[in-house]
Structure 1
């Protein structure tokens, strides 16, 4: 299965998208609705209203790539707890989303930053 690397920028469109949209329609959504550049080295994620289908859009050197996943049962657990029209995810969070993990429930420990010991 194709999965993004953990360090790839991932932008999730929060609003449902008509899955009949193809590359040009999705790229236009990235540009006009999400206010992002579809040619950036980033992955753009779209889901339908029923949350059983997802499309990913990616610019790869000389053309767009679209990846489509349809669930036979269950639903993607779309992150409703995050703010904004588009949400930034890590590659790992996208992998969890594609696997059916609820991102709201996954709550790792906070990173700690110290200046000195003791």
Structure 2
């Protein structure tokens, strides 16, 4: 893997998703403002901040990588991203695995994880 690919593909420790619809015309400064005002954390934390539009067919992902902000944008041509609907807070966290499911069109609320088994040794 090249250094550039590794830099882009290395996910931060936390992944936050805004449950509110966001105007996709917003760029880095506008999204940083939302993070600072609504997410109760710093935009330069080791975190990925995910935003979606009203129709859930576009997302933007923002993160800080010590030299500056990175902004990733994805638009679905057919269908929608299937964000959780039973969220009662303006921001929630998901795992890296759940983010990958979300990006591939899966509804993460419906996916069941196996319970971890601890060895008795």
> Quick check: 2:58–2:73 contact (8 Å CA) kept in 1?
yes
Q: How does 1:57-76 map to 2 (within 5 A)?
A: 57-76=62-81
> Quick check: 2:84–2:108 contact (8 Å CA) kept in 1?
yes
Scaled by the length of structure 2, the TM-score of the pair is 0.85
Distance 2:10 2:88 in 1: 23
**1:82 aligns to 2:57 (yes or no):** no
**1:33 aligns to 2:38 (yes or no):** yes
Aligned residue pairs: how many? 115
The root-mean-square deviation of aligned C-alpha atoms, in Å, is: 2.0
Scaled by the length of structure 1, the TM-score of the pair is 0.87
User: Where do 4+ consecutive residues of structure 1 move more than 6 Å?
Assistant: none
Deviations 1:44-93 (Å, cap 9, x if unpaired)? 00000000000000001110000000000000001112342111011111
| Residue in structure 1 matched with residue 24 of structure 2 by the alignment | 19
